[in-house]
Amino acid sequence: MNNVEISSRDLNVLWHPCTQMKDHETIPLTPVSKAYGVYLEDFEGDTFIDAISSWWVNLFGHCNPYINQKIKEQLETLEHVILAGFTHEGIVRLSERLVALSPEGLTRCFYADNGSSAIEVALKMSYHSHKNQGKEKGLFVSLSESYHGETLGALSVGDVALYKETYEPLLIRSIQTPSPINQSVEAALDAAKSFESLLQEKGDEIAALIVEPLVQGAGGMRMYHPIFLSEAKRLCEEYGVHFIADEILVGFGRTGSMFACEQAGITPDFLVLSKGLTGGYLPLSVVLTNESVYGSFYCDYNPIRSFLHSHSYTGNALACAAANATLDIFESENVIENNRKTIALIAEELKRFEPFPNVKEVRQCGMIAAIELQGYDPHERVGVKIHQLCLTQGVLIRPLGSVVYVMTPYVITPDELRKVFDAIEFSLQRI
Ligand SMILES: *Cc1c(COP(=O)(O)O)cnc(C)c1O
């Protein structure tokens, strides 16, 4: 088996995600035969540093020996069981740990099996909880440039035109308030003011505000100051609006703290987690909420007041084993503390891009770095060119339009990190 053979068989039968398949007439696929640590290896023995953590999911490297071991152990005892009326040890332990780790007041875990589905759960739960308390609130607010997934409900509260525009007639009611324009305190306070005006106008109709705390990922790695979160949370409380924190991307240490909400000292009404939850191994997601929301559904049997939502693979035992193993590593290896060294190294590496004439801004939030380019027409598809140039340097980078970002697994070494930024520099000199 070789790269060419796998690619041609693939292109006969597959339809890839987020891809114009005709592009593959000119852009080759990269078949991966195996992966270890930060490396992906193709069928000809070429390796690539996975500098985007395989779409932001991987935390402790590919084929991490400890996580592998824990999944194998789980496989010998229980692979999956229905979660309605049944339970298992792994999910109980995982839920206890998530409740203990997450901001004070989040006490209940509801599971789904991917990020978008968990967003649907949070939106439905918020709407339904208000309804159970006699309030009809059918409008959601999110930030401009936000991204919350691609199922129809999640897409409705997102604001990335590229993914959303076509489906506009199919979407649920949502409205966008401006996101902070940069990482300054002033920008955060300005955005909070705009949100307040919206609440004054439409507060009665609004079920929830949904935000990506500190970093808006797919919208272009836009970053903002934590004071926006504390202000927005305060306003939500004042107007009886739920606060949904979509930490699918930023959770589990990406912004430098275990959860991004910690940096604002807030407890959201809903905390949505996925991606890093299983260390990047298996699909799993969870919505944590408080006793007040939980209590609004808790009553003698009444189908209208119950949350009758489920997914076939809810709470999969193998995924829970991967999640518990991931949390074991956080505990035993003091990850959040150790990442500070990598965060400082990233800041050092970023400096070299500031003088580049084609660089508009460099920014960083914890383990996430972004280099925003300027002067390119969208039709040039500069991101695609950078992606291909970096592959020639043995590094996987996948820019969002003209925003080049780095979000590596936490196990990357200083030498490997330098190689990633060298590859970006190499590509920026050649586009
Ligand atoms: C990836 C992502 C989602 C969607 O998760 P999927 O598992 O891809 O459906 C939602 N919100 C944010 C912030 C994300 O980064």
Is 292 contained in some domain? yes
Distances (CA, A) of 303 to 61, 123, 307: 44, 19, 8
Say if 19 falls within a structural domain.
no
Q: Are residues 228 and 327 in the same domain?
A: yes
Question: What pLDDT does 1 receive?
Answer: 85
SS (H, E, C) 90-131: HHHHHHHHHHHHCCCCCCEEEEECCHHHHHHHHHHHHHHHHH
- Domain encompassing residue 203: 68-332
Measured by CA distance, the residue closest to atom 6 of ligand 1 is 115
pLDDT tens for 169-180 read 999 999 999 999
- Neighbour count for residue 175 (Cβ, 10 Å): 14
- Final residue of a domain: which of 298, 332, 366? 332
CA 87 to centroid of chain Cα atoms: 27
Q: How far is the CA of 171 from the centre of ligand 1 (A)?
A: 18
For residues 75 and 53, state if they share a domain. no
The residue whose CA is least distant from atom 12 of ligand 1 is 148
Domains in the chain, number: 2
What is the Cα–Cα distance from 81 to 79, expressed in whole angstroms? 7
Show Cβ contacts of residue 284 under 8 Å, excluding neighbours closer than 6 positions: 111, 113, 274, 277, 278, 315, 316, 319, 320, 322, 323
Q: 96, 68 in Cβ contact below 8 A?
A: no
- pTM summary value: 0.98
In a shared domain, residues 306 and 371: no
What is the best residue among 211, 259, 274 to mutate for testing ligand 1's pocket, by most ligand atoms within 8 Å of CB? 274
Residue at 254 is within a domain: yes
What is the whole-number distance in angstroms between the Cα of residue 147 and the centre of ligand 1? 7
In a shared domain, residues 45 and 95: no
Question: For residue 128, is it within any domain?
Answer: yes
Whether residues 213 and 120 share a domain: the answer is: yes
147 lines ligand 1 (CB under 6 A): yes
Residues 6 or more apart in contact with residue 397 via CB below 8 angstroms: 51, 52, 386, 387, 390, 404, 405, 406, 420, 423, 424, 427
Which residues of the chain fall short of a pLDDT of 70?
Answer: none
Same domain, 312 and 378: no
CATH code, domain with 374: 3.90.1150.10
The pLDDT, as a whole number, for residue 157 is 98
Please tell me the distance between residue 55's alpha carbon and the centre of ligand 1 in angstroms: 10
